[in-house]
Structure formats: structure tokens, C-alpha cells
């Protein structure tokens, strides 16, 4: 009897403690509300969860949450408050805000990047160039990496860009009968994977011809994992446990591949072999300059470049194909430019890229409507005033190129695909276009990516006429980056006069 009495008293005590903790938590949420509720924003879905139910519902239905943010910005103003459980962040859709907070090294990235550094308890990108929150350490890494993205080095990549792009068009040519349906996103993802693997790490993946290669699926899995980290409760959701295990397994695959690649290069250096001045060489040079740089630190940057160098370019190219197929007059115009500049040449020269001006406009307009990395964030340590709104210290600010690119305030008829917006003489809205971010932490690989995209797209336009298969939607799938949901399924025909 005494034992049961003790157990009952213990249970009551635990219950009391749980209630006290819950009340304290509610008090903290109330404090956050009081701290931020002077900032405009939509009504919360609930006291406890804030706007999280809206976010989760949209993720479940494969909707792009930024479209909802756009509606809220147009209704409540350029600075809005968003709540999730016990946290709040502020979305800033203001060119002045973009200029102030992205162009300055004073503001660090926020804690979201910790979820990318270590995803579901597994080290993913660690302290790589994308996720490093310490500006001083990041700057040291960036300085080490810069030679691998110099003009001289990039010009030297034209051979590989041509080789892999030629492999792509030859593979596509086998199905260019006007009947076979080709998933362009899948094919473009494979060729960009082959490019980054070879030019950055000296690896020949041959994923264009190897349907068994695990890397395309591994990248898709970890990108989906990045999206799911937006849900703070995902780790505790029973239905997500198999998914989380799969993500962690694919993280291990990518990091193991990185380790093996690094160890091979280290051995080649030790044996006195000639080695290229590529990203991997720069990663290893960084290890020499930094005391205590571990193998895990080296792998961080391997994974960062391996994924970022493939995913964003593949998505941009896929959206470009989709929009050109939907706009035949633009397609005709850009093909005419390619015919004039490239003609029937097999290899595209570096000098040719500068002459493909309208193609550059097409690619830039693609990133305006479909920025594959749509946003970034910064943390302020002191109180600031943005657009007349007081923002408390230690607040995360979000900046979003997708939203700004779709606002009539910045672009006339913003949902119309119009490459002439980027004609050299066209007016440009300042600090409303930043698909590669801006300022000191702008993407180191943006010139690399646009060179690669131009070569691949020029060869594709040179060789093929293409049409979208009927019945596809033009919806966007948010997987951490943005990609076309239906995969851009096309039928192809040879442009025989150009062969």
C-alpha cells in the first residue's frame, strides 16, 4: 500500500512539474508576442504554434510557402513578423534593407544554418563555406577558395564544360524523334553532377549513362531533409522516422565519398603527381594553412560544393527550358543568336560566351522568376529601424529574392517571362535581384555556374527543337531549393539544318 501511495504522489508531482513547465513555456511565448507584436503581420494560427500550422500544411501539400509570404507582404507591408512556436523572425522585402544587411560583413547568418551544418544529428555541411556562421573563419575559407574560381582557372574549364555538354546532347539525340518523352530535369541534374564532380574533384561519375549511380537520389534526399528541418517537431514525428534514417544514410554516403576523394588526392600529392588547381586542391591547401583542420572539416567543403554546384545549376537550366518551351517567340530569338554566334561548331569558346547576350538575359530572367536558392538571412545584435518599423535586438531577418522578383513594385507584369528586363539599357530595380545573394557572402560559384549554364544551354538550343508534353503543371517544388515539380517532360527533334 505504501508503494502505491508513493507512486501516486510521484505521478502527481511529475504532473505538477509538467504543468509548471508548460505554464512557464506559455509565459515565454507571451513574452515573445509582446516583444514582436508591434511589427505588422498576419494573425497567428494559434497562441502556441504561431504560423507554423500554415507552414506545415503548405509543405504537406507541396506548395511554395514564399507565395503565401508574397500575399502577406502585399497586404501588411515590406516588413512583417512571422511566428513559429516560441520564436519569431522578420521578413524584410525592402531594397534598402537588402543593401544594408547583405552588403555589410557586420551581420552573421542565423541559426537556420546550424540545421544544415548538422541535419538530424548527422554532420552534413558542418562549417563549410555555405554554413559557417563565424565571419572571420568564413572569410579565411573564402580567401583560400578564391583561386579555384579565378578567371584563368574558369577559362580552363571550357574543355570539360564542352565535353559534358556534348555528352548530354548526344544522349538526348538518341531520343530526339518527336515521340519519346524526356525528363529534362533528370538529364540536366545528371550532367551538372558529372561536371562538378570532374572539374572540382577529379571524379568521373558518368551519371548520364549510369542509372544505378546513387548520387542523384542522395542529393534529392538530403535536399528534402533541408526542407523538413523547417518543422521543429519533425524529429519527433513517428511517420518521419524512416525518412530521417534515409536522409542520414545519404549524408553518410556523400561524406564517405568525400573522404575517399580527399584521401586519393592527398596520396597523389605525397607521391609527387601533377594535380589540378581545382576546388579540392584549394580545400587541401586550406588544411595546410589552418592549424587543427580535421578530415571532417575538409569533407564539409567537399559536400558543400558537390551539392551546391550541381543542384542550383540543374534547376536553373530546367526552368529555362520550361519557359522557352512556353514562349516560342523567345525561343526563336535565342536560337537565332546561338546560330549566329556558335553556328555548327562543336566546341564553344570562352569568347563566344560574351557574345551570347540574349541567352544571358534568358538565364537571368529565369533566376528572377525561379531563384533556385530563394532567400537568405542575417541576425541583428542591436535594435534597428527598417521602413519605419522598430526591430528588437537579436532578431533574425529574412531576405527573399523570389518574393521581390514577383512584385509589381519592382517589375512590370512580374509573372511574365521577359528577358528584355535584363537588356543592358533596361532600368534595373536596385537590390531587388539577388539569386546568388549579395555582398561579401555572395556565392563564390556564380560565374562558374553561369558559364556552365551557357555552354549547356547553347549546345541544347543549337541541336534541338523541343515541346513540353501536354498535361504538365508549371508548379514549383520546394526541396530546400526550387525545382520544377513535373520534371519538364519534353519531346525533342533534331534541328537538322544546324547539324
pLDDT at 31: 92
Residues forming beta bridges with residue 476, ordered by sequence position: 484
- Of 229, 122, 224, residue with least CA distance to 481: 224
- CA separation for the pair 493, 319 (Å, rounded): 19
Sheet holding 489-494, edge to edge: 182-183, 489-494, 464-468
DSSP 463: H
Domains and CATH numbers, the chain: 93-110+156-210+310-498 (1.10.630.10)
Q: What is the largest CA-CA distance in the chain?
A: 95
For residues 50 and 43, is the Cβ–Cβ distance under 8 A?
no
Q: What pLDDT band is residue 359 in, cutting at 50, 70 and 90?
A: very high
Q: What pLDDT band is residue 166 in, cutting at 50, 70 and 90?
A: very high
Note the pTM of the prediction, 2 decimals: 0.92
Does the pLDDT of residue 289 top 70, yes or no?
no
Cα 115 from chain centroid (whole Å)? 15
3-state secondary structure of 185: helix
pLDDT digit string (tens) for 440-471?
888 888 999 999 999 999 999 999 999 999 99
Residue 87 burial (CB < 10 Å; 0-12/13-18/19+)? middle
Residue 385 burial (CB < 10 Å; 0-12/13-18/19+)? exposed
Cα R_g (the chain), whole angstroms: 25
Task: For CA atoms 321, 325, 326, 332, give the dihedral sign.
Answer: positive
pLDDT digit string (tens) for 126-157?
988 888 888 888 888 888 888 888 888 889 88
For residues 224 and 120, is the Cβ–Cβ distance under 8 A?
no
- CA separation for the pair 333, 337 (Å, rounded): 7
Concatenating the DSSP letter of every residue in 415-450 gives: TS--GGGGSTTS---TTS--TT--GGGS-TTHHHHH
- CA separation for the pair 422, 282 (Å, rounded): 34
3-state secondary structure of 455: helix
Amino acid at each position: 500500500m505504501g508503494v502505491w501511495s508513493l507512486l501516486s504522489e510521484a505521478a502527481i508531482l511529475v504532473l505538477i512539474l509538467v504543468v509548471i513547465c508548460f505554464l512557464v513555456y506559455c509565459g515565454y511565448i507571451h513574452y515573445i508576442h509582446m516583444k514582436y507584436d508591434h511589427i505588422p503581420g498576419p494573425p497567428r494560427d494559434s497562441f502556441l504554434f504561431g504560423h507554423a500550422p500554415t507552414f506545415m500544411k503548405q509543405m504537406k501539400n507541396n506548395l511554395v510557402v514564399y507565395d503565401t509570404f508574397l500575399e502577406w507582404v502585399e497586404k501588411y507591408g515590406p516588413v512583417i513578423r512571422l511566428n513559429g512556436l516560441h520564436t519569431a523572425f522578420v521578413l524584410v522585402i525592402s531594397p534598402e534593407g537588402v543593401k544594408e544587411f547583405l552588403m555589410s560583413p557586420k551581420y552573421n547568418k542565423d541559426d537556420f544554418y546550424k540545421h544544415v551544418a548538422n541535419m538530424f544529428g548527422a554532420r552534413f555541411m558542418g562549417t563549410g563555406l555555405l554554413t559557417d556562421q563565424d565571419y572571420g573563419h568564413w572569410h579565411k575559407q573564402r580567401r583560400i577558395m578564391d583561386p579555384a574560381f579565378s578567371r584563368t582557372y574558369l577559362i580552363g574549364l571550357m574543355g570539360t564544360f564542352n565535353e559534358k555538354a556534348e555528352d548530354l546532347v548526344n544522349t538526348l539525340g538518341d531520343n530526339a524523334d518527336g515521340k519519346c518523352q524526356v525528363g529534362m530535369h533528370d538529364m540536366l541534374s545528371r550532367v551538372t553532377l558529372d561536371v562538378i564532380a570532374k572539374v572540382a574533384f577529379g571524379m568521373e561519375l558518368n551519371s548520364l549513362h549510369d542509372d544505378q549511380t546513387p548520387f542523384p537520389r542522395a542529393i534529392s534526399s538530403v535536399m528534402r531533409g533541408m526542407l523538413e528541418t523547417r518543422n521543429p517537431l519533425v524529429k519527433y514525428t513517428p511517420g518521419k522516422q524512416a525518412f530521417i534514417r534515409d536522409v542520414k544514410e545519404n549524408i553518410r554516403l556523400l561524406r564517405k565519398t568525400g573522404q575517399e576523394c580527399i584521401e586519393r588526392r592527398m596520396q597523389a600529392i605525397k607521391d609527387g603527381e601533377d594535380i589540378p588547381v581545382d576546388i579540392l586542391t584549394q580545400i587541401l591547401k586550406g588544411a595546410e594553412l589552418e592549424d587543427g583542420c580535421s578530415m571532417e572539416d575538409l569533407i564539409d567543403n567537399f559536400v558543400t560544393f558537390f551539392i551546391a554546384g550541381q543542384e542550383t545549376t540543374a534547376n536553373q537550366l530546367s526552368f529555362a527550358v520550361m519557359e522557352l518551351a512556353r514562349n516560342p517567340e523567345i525561343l526563336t530569338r535565342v536560337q537565332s543568336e546561338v546560330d549566329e554566334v556558335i553556328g555548327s561548331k562543336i566546341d564553344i569558346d570562352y569568347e563566344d560566351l560574351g557574345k551570347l547576350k540574349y541567352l544571358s538575359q534568358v538565364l537571368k530572367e529565369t533566376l528572377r522568376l525561379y531563384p533556385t536558392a530563394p532567400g537568405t538571412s542575417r541576425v541583428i545584435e542591436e535594435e534597428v529601424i527598417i521602413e519605419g518599423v522598430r526591430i528588437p535586438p537579436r532578431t533574425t531577418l529574412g531576405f527573399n529574392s523570389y518574393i521581390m522578383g514577383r512584385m509589381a513594385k519592382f517589375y512590370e507584369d512580374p509573372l511574365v517571362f521577359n528577358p528584355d528586363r535584363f537588356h543592358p539599357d533596361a532600368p534595373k530595380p536596385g537590390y531587388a535581384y539577388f539569386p546568388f545573394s549579395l555582398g561579401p557572402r555572395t556565392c563564390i560559384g556564380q560565374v562558374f555556374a553561369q558559364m556552365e549554364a551557357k555552354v549547356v544551354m547553347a549546345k541544347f538550343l543549337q541541336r534541338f527543337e523541343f515541346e513540353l508534353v501536354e498535361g504538365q503543371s508549371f508548379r514549383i517544388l520546394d526541396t530546400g531549393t526550387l525545382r520544377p515539380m513535373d520534371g519538364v517532360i519534353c519531346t525533342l527533334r533534331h534541328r537538322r539544318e544546324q547539324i
